[in-house]
Amino acid sequence: MTARVEHLFEVIDRLVAIKNECSREIAAECGLNNLTAKQIAYLKVIDEHHDLTFSRLAEITSNSKPTVTEMIDRFVRMECAYRQKCPGDGRMAYIRLTEKGRMMANAERDALYRMIERMVRTLDERDVDLLIEILRKVR
């Protein structure tokens, strides 16, 4: 590996480490340091769909209804989600996220914003513009 590639690797690795640090900060703020990637993926799906039922979540995630129910029960205990009875059919319930659940569903995006804020605080305006110009070229 050339010195240039090695240096680029180190710089990008440092950016990834900063982003991961920001993700951990968000999880700590929510008191949810031990969420798995699969759990976060469930939270994202719930966040992206309005009026999501247990059956629909099972369909979207290719899981059984008992598996989905177990996951949602866990989210309820963690105060990430709650059930809301469907007004038209009391037998059905919608899955809703709490503020904590929404924070975790959006943690990756918010971690990127935090990382960018750190970069903007560190760099001057000209350097930020140059960084944007360079990164736009990456395909």
Q: What domains can be seen in the chain, in order of their start residue?
A: 1-30+106-139 (no CATH), 34-100 (1.10.10.10)
In the three-class reduction of DSSP (H, G, I as helix; E, B as strand; rest coil), residue 116 is classed as helix
pLDDT at 1: 72
pLDDT at 89: 78
CA 25 from centre of chain: 13
Q: β-strands 81-85, 93-97: how paired?
A: antiparallel
pLDDT at 63: 93
Per-residue pLDDT of the chain (139 residues; tens, 9 = 90+): 799 999 999 999 999 999 999 988 988 888 888 888 889 999 999 999 988 999 999 999 999 999 999 999 999 999 999 999 988 877 889 999 999 999 999 998 999 999 999 999 999 999 999 999 999 999 8
At 72, give phi and psi (nearest 5°). Answer: -65, -40
Q: β-strands 93-97, 52-53: how paired?
A: antiparallel
pLDDT at 34: 84
Q: Tell me the whole-structure pTM to 2 decimals.
A: 0.76
Separation between Cα atoms, residue 2 and residue 127, nearest integer Å = 25
pLDDT at 119: 92
